[in-house]
Amino acid sequence: MPPVIEVRELTKRYSNSKTNAVDGISFSVAGGEFFTLLGPNGAGKTTTISILTTTLTPTTGSARIAGYDLVKEAGAVRRNAGIIFQKPSLDLNLTAEENVRFHAVVYGLYPFRPTFSLMPKAYKQQITELAEILSLKDDIFKPIKTFSGGMKRKLEIIRSLIHQPKVLFLDEPTVGLDPASRRNLWEYIKRVRRESGTTVFLTTHYLDEAEDADTICIISKGKIVAYGPPEAVKARLIEKYLLIDASDKNRLRTELKQLNIPYSETPLFKISLNGTPTVHQLLKAIDTPLTTVKTHNPSLEDAYLAIVEE
């Protein structure tokens, strides 16, 4: 099965710049995968997602979304993609439901009807379910101009999911959401992935959201600097280690040397866990009574900071 997103040597240089905003990046995303693009401000995240959602034309390179060429078949790409941008793109003169309804009509999901009551039953059920999940059920018929920033973000999420896209592009989707709505959103997105196999492409500053990704891609200065499953990226960039100590330090030193276990003193005894043996094997092998046992498991934030602070 071909990837749902396939990017090859994608490059973007703006006319007023001497450097590439995106510099020859390549990656692929499988169907149903949760893919996260990370990077500091100015790294090229927004440029990349803008190209993949057809709002920006690449300088060179190619990409296919759901099997369609990004440039030659932009209309088909848009029909297969749901998009939530950082900045709201709602019509403030309409109600929340009208914004969603016209979006659904434009995508050819439902015939146009002048009022909600005349819309098909399936549409009514769908928008009601989404509004309830995102805590907008009581506000769905209110004018957008009365909405807070968080409410507008929720509505954009409803609108992006109404046509059940194959690929859902989320550019900082939870900015402005309260913790409960943020949790509800991710529970719903997990459900969408599970039930319909939707591919999720996320950019976020919340690194805890990226921890659940199947694949992460970290870019810096327009180039990919790390790529792979979160655990693999963390293992490659940040050391996982065990800290131990004993009242009889000389005995512990002697035993570690006899067991051929490399260590350093910091002043605790530090043993790398990036290879073998495991923590359980180490502790089972050591006879010296220990007074301290601590493990350091690197977080995605550790790996991210190791890259962006270089």
The C-alpha atoms of residue 285 and residue 259 are separated, in whole angstroms, by 8
Mean pLDDT throughout 2-18?
A: 94
Q: Is residue 31 part of a domain?
A: yes
Q: Is residue 88 part of a domain?
A: yes
- Does residue 270 carry a pLDDT above 90? yes
Asked if residue 211 and residue 249 are part of one domain, the reply reads no
- What's the confidence (pLDDT) of residue 310? 66
Asked if residue 192 and residue 264 are part of one domain, the reply reads no
Mean pLDDT throughout 182-199?
A: 83
pLDDT in tens, 169-180: 998 888 777 888
pTM above 0.75? yes
pLDDT in tens, 61-81: 999 999 999 999 998 998 899
Q: Which of 182, 205, 233 is the last residue of a domain?
A: 233
- What's the confidence (pLDDT) of residue 245? 95
Least confident of 26-35, 154-163, 263-272: 154-163
pLDDT, the chain, mean = 89
| Torsion sign (Cα): 173, 175, 176, 179 | positive
Asked if residue 148 and residue 36 are part of one domain, the reply reads yes
CATH code: domain of residue 223 = 3.40.50.300
Asked if residue 253 and residue 208 are part of one domain, the reply reads no
Q: Which of 176, 207, 233 is the last residue of a domain?
A: 233
Asked if residue 193 and residue 108 are part of one domain, the reply reads yes
Percent of the chain exceeding pLDDT 90 equals: 54
Asked if residue 63 and residue 136 are part of one domain, the reply reads yes
pLDDT in tens, 209-260: 888 899 999 999 999 999 999 888 887 777 788 999 999 999 999 999 999 9
Asked if residue 252 and residue 104 are part of one domain, the reply reads no
Asked if residue 294 and residue 261 are part of one domain, the reply reads yes
Total of domains in the chain: 2
Q: Which of 210, 233, 256 is the last residue of a domain?
A: 233
Asked if residue 245 and residue 213 are part of one domain, the reply reads no
Confidence of residue 167 (pLDDT cuts 50, 70, 90): very high
Q: Is residue 187 part of a domain?
A: yes
Q: Is residue 177 part of a domain?
A: yes
- Does residue 115 carry a pLDDT above 90? yes
Domain that includes residue 51, residue range: 5-233
- What's the confidence (pLDDT) of residue 41? 84
Mean pLDDT throughout 279-297?
A: 91
- What's the confidence (pLDDT) of residue 276? 65
- Does residue 29 carry a pLDDT above 90? yes
- What's the confidence (pLDDT) of residue 96? 96
Asked if residue 217 and residue 113 are part of one domain, the reply reads yes
Asked if residue 268 and residue 197 are part of one domain, the reply reads no
Asked if residue 268 and residue 144 are part of one domain, the reply reads no
DSSP secondary structure string, the chain?
Answer: ---SEEEEEEEE--TT-SS-SEEEEEEEE-TT-EEEEE--TTSSHHHHHHHHTTSS--SEEEEEETTEETTTTHHHHHHTEEEE-SS----TTSBHHHHHHHHHHHTTSS---SSGGGS-HHHHHHHHHHHHHTT-TTTTTSBGGG--HHHHHHHHHHHHHTT--SEEEEESTTTT--HHHHHHHHHHHHHHHHHH--EEEEE-S-HHHHTT-SEEEEEETTEEEEEE-HHHHHHHHS--EEEEE-S-HHHHHHHHHHTT---EESSSEEEE-SSSS-HHHHHHH--SPPSEEEEE---HHHHHHHHHT-
Q: Is residue 307 part of a domain?
A: no
